Amino acid sequence: MSIVEILPRVRSFRLPRIDGLTQWIVPLVILLVWQAACVTGYVPARVMPAPTDVALAGWKLLVSGELAQNIWVSFWRASVGFLIGGSIGFAFGLANGLSQLSSKLTDTTLQMVRNVPHLALIPLVILWFGIDESAKLFLVALGVFFPIYLNTLHGIRTVDPQLIEMGRIYGMRNSELFRRVIFPGALPSIFVGVRFALGIMWLTLIVAETIAASSGLGYMAMQAREFMQIDVVVLSILIYALLGKVADSASRALERLTLSWHPAFQKH
């Protein structure tokens, strides 16, 4: 059989699956290479446990209920912190995007605070809150605030003024103008902020839980380090990666749903 005869069949076999599976090829290869390196002793188990060992550690923790408990605690902190910081950021973004007065009053201050790395506040936060929940929530909320604030503000300020004039010509009052023109126009930029914020949310949480917590994934990893359980350490890292991916996928799905009008999201 010549290559010419095979090609069409190969194509028709691969094309429909390309979307769903292609992205997992590289992680799978890495996993296989990793396993091979550990099994052959090329990488000592002290440095890096084999994927199967990590899976085993995960299974044990799952059975004991510890894993679910820690994931839940971290997930709860992440989402509550995100909601608090995100809503405040969104509110300030709206206010400063829509009102000159509000912008004059607060924007400069916020831009100044933005230049302080929020993780640098950890010592202060521990002094204020100790290591209880509010410390973590505060840090996550603070980290999430700025990307959402900045992108909401940018989105609102860059809504096409011609569309706003059109809305006014056709008799839209402020609330309708906001609902029909300004908010949908700012939405793509707001989503950019949300995606940035999700990244910062996990980062902040990992650091905060590693330094100052008595539960959660970061705490689990630190605990494991003390007992030299390197498989659990790696497991926590992988779970963070997985949770980050889940959050990102969720925001992408929401984006596709609400921005279906956008040329970038249209199917051909």
* Site stretch for other proteins (CB under 8 A), options 13-21, 22-30, 117-125, 166-174: 166-174
Supply the minimum distance, in Å, between the C-beta of residue 95 and other proteins.
23
Supply the minimum distance, in Å, between the C-beta of residue 18 and other proteins.
25
Among 13, 17, 171, 228, binds other proteins (CB under 8 A): 171
* Helical residues (DSSP H) of the chain, grouped into ranges: 3-14, 18-39, 51-64, 66-98, 100-114, 122-129, 133-157, 161-169, 174-177, 183-211, 217-226, 230-258
* Site stretch for other proteins (CB under 8 A), options 33-41, 83-91, 165-173, 215-223: 165-173
Collect all residues with Cβ–Cβ distance below 8 Å to 262 and sequence separation of at least 6: 188
CA atoms within 13 A on the CB side of 214: 5
* Site stretch for other proteins (CB under 8 A), options 93-101, 105-113, 136-144, 258-266: 258-266
Residues of span 125-164 touching other proteins by CB under 8 A: 162-163
Among 148, 181, 230, 232, binds other proteins (CB under 8 A): 181
Among 167, 193, 216, 218, binds other proteins (CB under 8 A): 167
The yes or no reply on residue 165 touching other proteins (CB under 8 A) is: yes
Q: Which of helix, strand or coil describes residue 215?
A: coil
**Cα 78 to Cα 224: distance, rounded to the nearest angstrom:** 22
**Cα 84 to Cα 94: distance, rounded to the nearest angstrom:** 15
Among 126, 185, 207, 238, binds other proteins (CB under 8 A): 185
Q: Are 149 and 110 in contact (CB under 8 A)?
A: yes
Binding positions for other proteins, rule: CB under 8 A = 162-163, 165-167, 169-172, 180-181, 184-185, 187, 259-263, 266
